[in-house]
């Protein structure tokens, strides 16, 4: 079990990585056996800039025959509100929590003044962890459209003064105060408060439910990832941030008015940065883009993925397609579950949808609890996992 793979790659390999074909030609293998992936320039026999170094055909990664069969993990499906469901679960009872909440699309942006004020209460200051530094950072007004602090918003009658928002102070995990965080987020979108009020208690419950060696994977799109990271820093602590994973795909319509958005963000936080579990040996390998620059043994084994994962969406036809609109690929969940849990560990998914987390966890010998309030999602999960037990909250 390792946390970081040693560098050890020849310097020539690092140079070649800058000139090999686009990384989009490499896909994440859904399991240990993947088909060979060849560079886009099929007729290229050498790597430019690295004379006399042939590009060998990418070897298919052989299946790992050393892994013993594991028992099928149990699956518990709970139909109902996920916040009510998890509050009945005991502390520190899961090694892995995967959250794929709604992405909060279609928001209305408004221009607004938000002022972050210094707290005057001695008690408030003493309640804040590292309060002196946080208080000092709250002196400045935060503007959304470049106006001066005493300038009224557009449309305000002459002589009127913009009304300052009511101070919002929230005390939570580790003694953090959320007054400044919430104010800054409101600057860019006042409708974010609704999404923040929805997401924050579920992040707090995820922290409570994780074991000391546990890991949270929060799956979002580009609209909410930056907001969520601030909230996760408040709940878990900045030192518990492990990775920002980018799941990149190249499918669907592409805008001609901006760079097409073809990725999701997965934020990874650990309960205890000194004790979390991560097993890189269990992670599926990827083919080298320039296998001729490494030894045949390394080329045959493949390389560890980075924090950018190229993986197709769920195919429109295929065995794992359920028809559920927000279904995620099994390959993405398989990589997460293998890396951050062990056979026999428990996995939690509060926005289960089609049940991909439970299906993959069960096949890998992990027990899972899946929660969703959509009856159609529960129906899909029951068909996908007939061995699952289903509970309906009153």
Domain ranges of the chain: 9-107+191-394, 112-189
The confidence score (pLDDT) of residue 115 equals 38
CB atoms within 10 A of CB 347: 27
Distance from C-alpha of 346 to C-alpha of 90, rounded to nearest angstrom: 12
Distance from C-alpha of 118 to C-alpha of 68, rounded to nearest angstrom: 60
| 3-state SS assignment for residue 268 | strand
The confidence score (pLDDT) of residue 224 equals 85
% of residues, the chain, pLDDT over 90: 48
The confidence score (pLDDT) of residue 155 equals 41
The confidence score (pLDDT) of residue 255 equals 82
112, 160, 192 from 154: Cα distances, Å: 9, 11, 21
The confidence score (pLDDT) of residue 185 equals 53
> Could you tell me which residue, 356 or 194, shows the higher pLDDT?
356
Mean pLDDT of 364-376: 96
pLDDT at 111 over 50: no
The confidence score (pLDDT) of residue 22 equals 42
Residue 174: pLDDT band with limits 50, 70, 90: low
181 conformational bin, left if phi > 0, alpha if psi -120 to 50, beta if neither: alpha
The confidence score (pLDDT) of residue 366 equals 98
The confidence score (pLDDT) of residue 295 equals 94
In CATH, the number for domain 9-107+191-394 is 3.40.50.150
The confidence score (pLDDT) of residue 195 equals 80
Distance from C-alpha of 35 to C-alpha of 59, rounded to nearest angstrom: 8
The confidence score (pLDDT) of residue 194 equals 77
Q: Is 47 exposed, middle or buried (0-12, 13-18, 19+ CB in 10 A)?
A: buried
Mean pLDDT of 266-275: 98
As a whole number, the mean pLDDT across the chain is 73
8, 39, 40, 295, 308 from 19: Cα distances, Å: 20, 11, 12, 19, 18
% of residues, the chain, pLDDT over 70: 59
Contact 278/335 with Cβ under 8 angstroms? no
Give the gyration radius of the chain's Cα atoms.
24
The confidence score (pLDDT) of residue 354 equals 94
The confidence score (pLDDT) of residue 24 equals 39
Mean pLDDT of 146-154: 38
Sign of torsion over alpha carbons 312, 223, 228, 325? negative
> Could you tell me which residue, 21 or 245, shows the higher pLDDT?
245
Give the least confident one: 22-26, 226-230, 351-355: 22-26
The confidence score (pLDDT) of residue 179 equals 54
Distance from C-alpha of 40 to C-alpha of 339, rounded to nearest angstrom: 30
């Amino acid at each position: 079990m390792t946390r970081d793979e040693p560098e050890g790659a020849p310097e020539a390999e690092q140079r070649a990585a800058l000139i090999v074909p686009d990384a989009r030609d490499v896909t994440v293998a859904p399991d240990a056996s993947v088909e060979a992936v060849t560079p886009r320039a099929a007729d290229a026999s050498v790597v430019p800039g690295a004379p006399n170094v042939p590009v060998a055909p990418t070897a298919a990664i052989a299946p790992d025959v050393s892994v013993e069969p594991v028992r099928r993990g149990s699956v518990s499906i709970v139909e109902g509100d996920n916040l009510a469901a998890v509050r009945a679960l005991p502390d520190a009872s899961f090694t892995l929590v995967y959250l794929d909440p709604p992405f909060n699309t279609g928001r209305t942006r408004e221009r607004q003044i938000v002022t972050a004020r210094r707290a005057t209460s001695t008690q408030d200051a003493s309640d804040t962890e590292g309060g002196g530094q946080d208080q000092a950072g709250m002196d400045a007004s935060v503007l959304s459209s470049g106006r001066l602090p005493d300038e009224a918003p557009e449309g305000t009658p002459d002589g009127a003064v913009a009304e300052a928002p009511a101070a919002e102070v929230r005390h939570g995990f580790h003694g953090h105060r959320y007054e400044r965080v919430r104010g800054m987020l409101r600057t860019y979108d006042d409708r974010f408060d609704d999404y923040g009020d929805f997401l924050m208690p579920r992040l707090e419950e995820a922290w409570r439910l994780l074991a000391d060696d546990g890991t949270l994977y929060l799956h979002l799109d580009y609209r909410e990832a930056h907001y969520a990271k601030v909230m996760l820093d408040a709940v878990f602590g900045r030192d518990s941030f492990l990775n920002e994973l980018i799941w990149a795909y190249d499918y669907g319509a592409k805008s001609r008015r901006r760079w097409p958005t073809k990725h999701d963000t997965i934020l990874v936080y650990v309960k205890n940065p000194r004790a979390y579990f991560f097993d890189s040996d269990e992670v599926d390998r990827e083919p080298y883009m320039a296998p001729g620059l490494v030894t045949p043994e390394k080329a045959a084994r493949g390389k560890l993925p980075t924090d950018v994962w190229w993986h197709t969406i769920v195919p429109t036809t295929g065995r794992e397609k359920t028809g559920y609109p927000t279904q995620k690929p099994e390959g993405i969940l398989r990589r997460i579950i293998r890396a951050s849990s062990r056979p026999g560990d428990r996995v939690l998914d509060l926005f289960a949808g089609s049940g991909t987390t439970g299906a993959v966890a069960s096949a890998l010998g992990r027990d899972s609890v899946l929660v969703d309030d959509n009856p159609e999602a529960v129906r899909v999960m029951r068909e996908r996992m007939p061995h699952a037990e289903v509970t309906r909250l009153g």
